[in-house]
């Protein structure tokens, strides 16, 4: 069993770049299912961290712990240095926003503008401030043209953009996205991928991404966490994690396509795997 670190005692925790620290011995759902056990997870400032794991490995359960939607059955969560419990969790939306996998779980107001203004109004902004925050967020994701539309009638890709805007309008430090590119065509998936990168680069927001798309994770993540059986079983740079075939197999995953191509090329040319490219650009340079 992993040793549980008390974050207050943990020297690393006092470093300013750590925004979230989860030390969760267990999360047990009411029906007795185990969502998380022996899990330690951190989010640092200005990073994209990808949670990669098979179906049912615990990625969504972990995401929902980031902003107090779920609390550990046993263990602690610290967000921006504050311990989260049933009384402090209600303020977490100021810091951590979650974009759900199904946009329909998030969108409910009569118009897109109302929907995106809802969060800022709820945080106490007046209508003018909330309008400004909503419009700024909608412009950032290229969805300002939808302001008068009924959210329910938008396409899947448009709903995803509006969902991200709704979270961005609250100006969080961290945004967690559950399968942000699932069910999208390649063009819309690319738009969302670019937005995620811009949120980090231009807005200084840390991103936590739960995804089955290992190619996406390889392209944009600074850090990969492999999730299995409710635990983070390994973490590291994409180039280290995605060339660890045994680890990926153990987690029920397959290497990203770029890794498969590079390995096949190395085998074909009878050369050693050395450079570990994880993006097309790196692959081209490595040849």
Ligand X SMILES: Nc1ncnc2c1ncn2[C@@H]1O[C@H](COP(=O)(O)OP(=O)(O)OP(=O)(O)O)[C@@H](O)[C@H]1O
Binds ligand X by CB under 6 A, chosen from 7, 53, 172, 256: 53
String of contacts with ligand X for each residue 133-162, x by CB under 6 A: ------------------------------
Place of tokens 């944009």: 220
- Least distance in Å: CB of 235 to ligand X? 16
Contacts of range 16-20, beta carbons closer than 8 Å, 24 or more positions apart: 16/45, 17/44, 17/45, 17/46, 18/42, 18/43, 18/44, 18/45, 19/43, 19/44, 19/45, 19/79, 19/80, 19/95, 19/173, 19/174, 19/206, 20/66, 20/77, 20/78, 20/79, 20/80, 20/96, 20/174
Binds ligand X by CB under 6 A, chosen from 9, 55, 87, 126: 55
- Least distance in Å: CB of 53 to ligand X? 5
Binds ligand X by CB under 6 A, chosen from 58, 119, 238, 256: 58
Could you say whether residue 35 binds ligand X (CB under 6 A)? Answer: yes
- Least distance in Å: CB of 64 to ligand X? 8
- Least distance in Å: CB of 91 to ligand X? 24
Enumerate residues 111-130 that contact ligand X by CB under 6 A: none
Cross-sheet strand order for the sheet of 74-79:
34-44, 18-28, 74-79, 82-83
3: which 2 tokens? 């040793």
The residues that touch ligand X, with contacts defined as CB under 6 A, are: 29, 31, 33, 35, 53, 55-61
């Amino acid at each position: 069993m992993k040793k549980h670190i008390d974050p207050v005692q943990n020297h690393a925790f006092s470093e300013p770049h750590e925004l979230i620290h989860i030390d969760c011995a267990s999360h047990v759902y009411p029906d007795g299912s185990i969502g998380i056990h022996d899990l330690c997870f951190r989010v640092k400032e200005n990073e994209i961290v990808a949670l990669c794991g098979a179906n049912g490995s615990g990625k969504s359960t972990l995401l929902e712990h980031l902003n107090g939607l779920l609390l550990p059955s046993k263990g602690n969560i610290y967000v921006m240095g504050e311990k989260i419990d049933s009384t402090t969790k209600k303020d977490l939306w100021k810091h951590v926003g979650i974009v759900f996998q199904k946009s329909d779980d998030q969108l409910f107001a009569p118009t897109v503008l109302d929907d995106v203004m809802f969060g800022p109004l709820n945080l106490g902004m007046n209508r003018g401030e909330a309008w400004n925050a909503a419009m700024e967020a909608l412009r950032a994701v290229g969805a300002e043209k939808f302001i008068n539309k009924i959210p329910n009638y938008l396409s899947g890709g448009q709903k995803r953009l509006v969902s991200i805007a709704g979270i961005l309008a609250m100006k969080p430090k961290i945004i967690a996205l559950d399968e942000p590119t699932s069910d999208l065509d390649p063009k819309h998936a690319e738009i969302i991928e670019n937005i995620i990168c811009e949120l980090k680069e231009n807005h200084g927001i840390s991103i936590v991404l739960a995804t089955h798309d290992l190619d996406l994770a390889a392209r944009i993540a600074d850090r990969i966490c492999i999730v299995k059986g409710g635990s983070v079983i390994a973490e590291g740079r994409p180039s280290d994690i995605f060339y660890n075939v045994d680890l990926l197999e153990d987690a029920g995953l397959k290497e990203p396509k770029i890794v498969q191509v590079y390995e096949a090329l190395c085998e074909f040319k009878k050369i050693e795997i050395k450079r570990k490219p994880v993006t097309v650009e790196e692959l081209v340079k490595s040849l």
